[in-house]
Every structure is written in structure tokens, then in C-alpha cells.
Amino acid sequence: MKYPKLSILALSAATAFAACNSKLDLSPADALDDKTAVTEGNSRILANGLYERAQEIEYYGRDFTVVNEVTGNDVKITSINSNRFVLEYQYMFTPLSAAQNKTWLNAYRVANQASTMIDKLPDTEMTLPYKGEAHFMRALAHLDLARRYTKPYSIMLEIGDVNAANTGLPLAMKAVDDPAKFKPSRSTLKETYDAIIGDLKVAQTMAPDSKLKSDGAFRASRNAATALLTRVYLYQKNWANVITEANKLMNDYALWSNPNYLANFTSDAATSEEIFSLRFLTPENRGSDNIGGIYLPNDNTPTSGYGDVRLADGFMALLDPADYRNTIVKNFAGGFYMMKWIGNGQGITGMTNIKVLRISEVLLNRAEAYAQDNQLQLAVNDINSLRTKRGLTAFAGATQAEILTEIFKQRRLELIGEGFGATDLFRTHGTRQIVDADGFKSPNTPVVPFNNNLVAFPIPQTEIDANPNIVQNPGYNK
């Protein structure tokens, strides 16, 4: 199928259905043409296609989460590397960076396919749960794009710019019938977040239910929408709503308590903490491009990887010897490597189910909201709920500053490698700086404070060239 010259955003609409298959049924289906795909009978296949798109290498299959880690402070790339993610690590990316263009493309493919399902599937008892999944996946895609290509909402809120023009995304909220004419402008940041919240509120009522430790964790559910809302509201500093939404989930899931913390990441079955995960099966094997390949040490074992991304000294200093999370760390040849993505029990190195939403994150979201709202004892209670499940003694901080410091520490320890590094760093007024002596540097590697233009990645130049309505992020104009 050929198209006239399109922007990446328009191309994502034109090719929305190329990756659909009946994954949950474990049997492939033929590719579906967008003129014949959107029928009630294909609802399940269309929903599965959303997950397939999200699992592309340049999205949750690897690049999206890895880039959010290497642009933070808790991991490092040394001079011994395979040249992967070095530009991102050194903040030397440009509007022409190919890998970032593909992340933009795949996230918009998810959003556009979701919009087509929402707008064009008939409203029937059969289709409504799948439409609910589509609302969730569209919200997730837009939030991920906002995390990558806009400045943090909390920072923009503080300076009064959430309603400023061109601070948000071009939104993919409608089915696109003529991609060649699809040239949306950017929304405000508030409009972007309003769209995300609107989708999640619909998903809360329309998406399927999910039970603890069931395969429902591998589908977008009502609980997944609620969990993602706690993240969105946290980023907006809407403390009351974080607490309200988190309270809906706390009795439905259980924190891990296994001293072998790593076992929870290598489990192929849904665990007690998982609210929404992307499940990787044998057909999703990317070989050396599996996410684990970038993290696992090159130690000449059957589970060797490139070993490019290592744990930074500052992260290692946070770990208490009694902490169960030490089991994710491997010391090899003097370097510390994160083993969360070693594999999910299917015998394929580095192929692991990606845990997008866990109850431990929701708990930490609520703890932060309690602390920011001066409900300090409730915040301490949440911190200690997590600490005791991770083999640590109770925390007894008294001041708001002490409690918030502990919460941010626990977020780093708990969520390392899961794509929160740069997001959490910058939204909390942090500064990105390579401090490890063996951290790969160049004379041009900058120190990046939270209010620097580099916090928001450049919109792909292909998009700028093809769509005259798109305004580039500050600092990247030719």
C-alpha cells in the first residue's frame, strides 16, 4: 500500500492495522486492511493489535523505558559499550534521531488505532469492553508521548504555562479517514492531560474487570485505568485525586514479600502486584534486541547481554544490605548490573513481561500525595508497608522533607529499570548529571536541570517538515 508523503503522525494513522493479530488466542491472523478490519467480529483482534504496537522495540519492547532510564541519574553507560543509547545518555539527541522518531511513530500508531476502534466499532455488548481497552491504550500512549516530548506538568504548572500554546501534543482523538490531510496542531499541556484523564474515566466504566494474579493483568482493565489515573494526577500535583483513586485499589492487590525479589520479574504468570503488564510470548522474541540484552552483563553465560547499561554508584549507595531488592543486582567484573529483565521463564534471554502498572507504584503515588498534603502519618504508613515487604525496618521520619526524601528514595529503588528515572527526576526539581568516574562522557555532555529545554525531547524533524501546523520544542529549531 503506498501513500503520498506523510508526516510520521499521519503515517501512524495510515498503517494503524498492519500489526493486528489474535495474540491472546495464541494463533496468528492475517494482516487486516483498515477498510475491512473494523467489525464487531474483529473486536478482539483489533484490541490485541494495540498491545502488539505497544510491544515494538522502539516502544515498550525496549527503547521507551531504556531511554527514560539512561537520561536519569540511576544508571550509566561506560566507555565499554555497543554504541546503543549513547546519544540519549549524553543528551546529544536531535530532531533527526531515528530511534526517537520510531518511538513517536509507534505510540501514535497505538493512539490512532484506538481512535479508529472507538469511533468505528458499533456499540454492542460484545464491543464495549474492547472499546474500553482502546480508551486506556490511547490514554497510555498520549501520556507516554507527553513524558517524552513535553516538559513536566508539575514544572509547567508552577510557572503558569500549562495553558500556553504548543506546550502539549498533537492529539489523536478521532479516527483519521484521510491521512494525507491529517495535519493537527499541538494542544496546550492542560488539553493533553484533560484528554488523557477523559479516556481513563471512560475506561474505568467500560473496560473489562481484572482479578488478582489472572491473565486479566495482560489486558487493559478498569483497575488499570484507575492505577494510571494515580500517575497522571501525581504528575499534575492533584494530591486529593491521587489518594481517591489509589484507595480504590489497595484491597485488590498484594505487595510482593518474596526475599527473592527477582523471582517476581522472571515469573511468566501474573503476580500479586501486577495491574497491567505487556506479556511477551515466543513470537515476540526480538533476539539480541530483547530489553534484557541492554542490561545483562557480557559474562559469557547463556544469559549474556551487551551490558551497556549499568547501575550507577549513587543508586547502589541507596541499597541496604537487608533489602530484598539486592537480588536484582549482579556484580560482574567490578560493575553492577540490573537483572530484572533476564527472562520470563520461557527460555529466551532478555525477553520479559513489561510491568507497566504495579500496586507498589500506586502505593508510592499515594504516599507522596499524603506527604504533600501534610497527612504525614498516613504517608509514613504507606512507606512502611513497602519497606517491611522489602525486608527493611520501619522508617520513622517526622518532617515533611524527611518523608518526601524517603519516598523518592523508595521510588528509585522500587522502579529502577521500569522507565521512571528521568520523569521522576525532573518533575521533582532534580538535575541530571553524570558523576561516576567511569560514566561515558564527552566535552559536550551537559548538566541538565529540571527547567532546561533538553528535558523535553525534540519532535521528529520529519513531522516538522511535513506538517506546517506543528511547532518544534524550544531549543531545537534550525
For 366-400, the DSSP string reads HHHHHHHTT-HHHHHHHHHHHHHHTT-PPP---SH
pLDDT of residue 100: 75
pLDDT of residue 33: 54
> Domain for residue 476, yes or no?
no
What is the enclosing helix (H) or strand (E) of 331? strand 329-332
> Domain for residue 1, yes or no?
no
Pairing of strands 309-311, 274-278: unpaired
> Domain for residue 474, yes or no?
no
For 405-420, the DSSP string reads HHHHHHHHHHHTTSS-
Quote the domain boundaries for residue 27. 8-466
pLDDT of residue 397: 80
> Domain for residue 180, yes or no?
yes
What are phi and psi for residue 140, nearest 5 degrees? -60, -45
> Domain for residue 67, yes or no?
yes
> For the chain, how many structural domains are there in total?
1
> Domain for residue 166, yes or no?
yes
> Domain for residue 471, yes or no?
no
Would you put residue 446 in left (φ > 0), alpha (ψ -120 to 50) or beta? beta
**Across the 478 residues of the chain, what is the mean pLDDT of every consecutive 10-residue run?**
62 64 32 66 93 96 97 95 92 82 93 96 95 98 98 98 98 91 95 98 97 92 98 98 98 96 94 96 92 95 93 98 98 96 90 96 98 98 98 94 98 98 98 94 87 95 92 88
CATH (domain of 167): 1.25.40.390
> Domain for residue 477, yes or no?
no
Residues 30, 21 contacting (CB under 8 angstroms): no
Residue 287 to residue 26: CA distance in whole angstroms: 20
Residue 65 to residue 81: CA distance in whole angstroms: 18
Helices 128-149 and 43-54: crossing angle, nearest 10°?
20
pLDDT of residue 30: 35
